[in-house]
Amino acid sequence: MVGKTVNWTRVALLTLFETLDYFIQRNGNDRYSKKLYAEIAKNETRLINNPFLGIEVEETNYRKLIFDDYSLYYKIIKSKITIVLFWDNRRDSKLLESELLKIK
């Protein structure tokens, strides 16, 4: 799968940064957020190497890669992997549905 690229939508970046900021505020330091960001980078590489790694999300054109307490929702179009949403799986699933509906 050489040549695949990973891009993030504005919504995905916003949900990622909100999560990272939450843990910085809660913990009083950025150690956990840095660790989480490193895990996300590893998972981006995993997607580049195997774009179909994530499971299909019913009734959508998205796939979901789950790691730890988080999910990356993404779509594949030709050589481009677009992460449409970063999600903390401990959050209310009804909020997830509304976030996914917002994405075009």
**In Å, how far from its chain's centre is CA 22?**
16
Question: Which DSSP category does 76 fall into?
Answer: E
What are the backbone dihedrals phi and psi of residue 30, each rounded to the nearest 5 degrees, phi first? -105, 10
Q: What is the CATH number of the domain that holds 96?
A: 3.30.2310.20
Task: Answer whether residue 84 is part of any domain.
Answer: yes
In a domain, 53, yes or no: yes
Report the domain count for the chain. 1
Residue-number span of the structural domain to which 42 is assigned = 6-102
Q: What is the pLDDT of residues 63-87, one digit of tens each?
A: 999 999 999 999 999 999 999 999 9
Residue 25 lies in a domain: yes
pLDDT in tens, the chain (104 residues): 467 899 999 999 999 999 999 999 999 999 999 999 999 999 999 999 999 999 999 888 999 999 999 999 999 999 999 999 999 999 988 888 778 777 76
Q: Is the pTM of this model over 0.85?
A: yes
Residue 61 lies in a domain: yes
Is 56 part of a structural domain of the chain? yes
Asked if residue 1 is part of any domain, the answer here is no
Three-class secondary structure of residue 9 per DSSP: coil
Whole-angstrom CA distances from 93 to 7, 15, 52, 76 are 24, 15, 23, 23
